[in-house]
Amino acid sequence: MSRPLAILLLLICTSLWGFAFVVQKSAMETMGPLTFMGVRYLLGGIVILPVALAMARRAPQRLTRRQWWFVGGMSLALMLGSWLQQVGLITTTVTNGGFLTSLYVLFVPLIGLVAFRAWPHPIVWLGVPLALVGIYYLNGGGLDRLNSGDALVVGGAVFWAIQVIMLGFIARTTGQPILVSCVSFLLAGGAALILALLWEAPTITGIMGGWEEIAYAGIFSTAIAFTLQAVGQQHVPSANAAIILSSESLFAAIGGAIFMGDRLPAVGYAGATLLFAAIVMVEALPPMLARRGNRLSERGPVTETPG
């Protein structure tokens, strides 16, 4: 596959994720968040199951018991991240939800430091406060405009970061990212639906009232988007892919403006720019600086010749 085609697949993936914020918010008019999550992920898992099984049959080895337990933990992080995001979207805007979810890009190195003692690149310590300033201005330049929905979405971003770390590890060790993703969809969807039966009393009428939202989120945002991500990232360096995928927040803002009538205050555009700049800086500058250092080391010390 050519590099331009792989980049195109990643752009399609991130646009599907970004526009999904619109359907996630509108789905809450007919069903609870757990109900929507359960049906969405079960549908996505079922759609991608044939591809996952076909690739698993060609895999050189099966997953070990320890790896299956790891997949279970990743599925729990996926469910908690989705649940907090979905509940948060009830009271926050699609635009804010998209940008705040993108904070997982900043949380990944911080969680790695705490959990694995892996020190992040020094540029992270510049990106985090820049992102916090962006959040401040994104909400109109006043903390009084932050609501509980924003806080829940940020909390969800923490679990998204955990899911990204765990998925990266299990995908590398098993070589079966699509199978692992499919199983996590089915586990997270099943758990969410069980909780929905206990807490939300879902009805067929309510689910069918949001069937369009479920179809988009389950088929396009879950099954297709994650498959495109898995295929595209095989041909694009991870740093470049992360920059492309972080544009999810921009597509969320576009979708919110077109379909939901969301409008940022004037200072909000500055906040959105700062937040996106922090994400790009954390992902792009470390590999750029590393490549520059490698080029300088290859040249060797510069010596002056007498004139």
pLDDT computed for residue 219 by the predictor: 94
Q: Which residues contact 306 (CB under 8 A, 6 or more apart)?
A: none
pLDDT in tens, 125-174: 787 788 778 777 776 666 556 688 888 999 999 998 888 788 777 877 88
Confidence grade of residue 242 (pLDDT, cut at 50, 70, 90): low
Q: Which residues contact 130 (CB under 8 A, 6 or more apart)?
A: 274, 275, 277, 278, 281
Under 8 Å between Cβ of 35 and 207: yes
Is residue 76 scored above 90 in pLDDT? Answer: yes
- Cα–Cα distance between 156 and 87 in angstroms, integer? 10
pLDDT computed for residue 39 by the predictor: 96
Q: What average pLDDT does range 2-26 have in this prediction?
A: 84
Under 8 Å between Cβ of 225 and 16: yes
Q: Which of 42-51, 53-62, 101-110, 247-256 has the lowest mean pLDDT?
A: 247-256
pLDDT in tens, 258-295: 777 767 677 878 888 887 788 778 767 777 777 776 66
Is residue 305 scored above 50 in pLDDT? Answer: no
| CA 264 to centroid of chain Cα atoms | 22
Is residue 302 scored above 70 in pLDDT? Answer: no
Q: What average pLDDT does range 64-85 have in this prediction?
A: 92
pLDDT computed for residue 271 by the predictor: 81
Count other C-beta atoms under 10 Å from residue 262's C-beta. 21
Closest-CA residue to 133 (of 145, 143, 124): 143
Confidence grade of residue 234 (pLDDT, cut at 50, 70, 90): low
Domain ranges of the chain: 3-285
pLDDT in tens, 24-51: 888 988 999 999 999 999 999 999 999 9
In angstroms and rounded to an integer, the radius of gyration of the C-alpha atoms of the chain is 21
Under 8 Å between Cβ of 31 and 151: no
SS3 content of the chain, % helix, strand, coil (to 5): 80, 0, 20
pLDDT computed for residue 306 by the predictor: 43
- Cα–Cα distance between 30 and 247 in angstroms, integer? 29
- Cα–Cα distance between 217 and 297 in angstroms, integer? 48
The whole-model pTM stands at 0.81
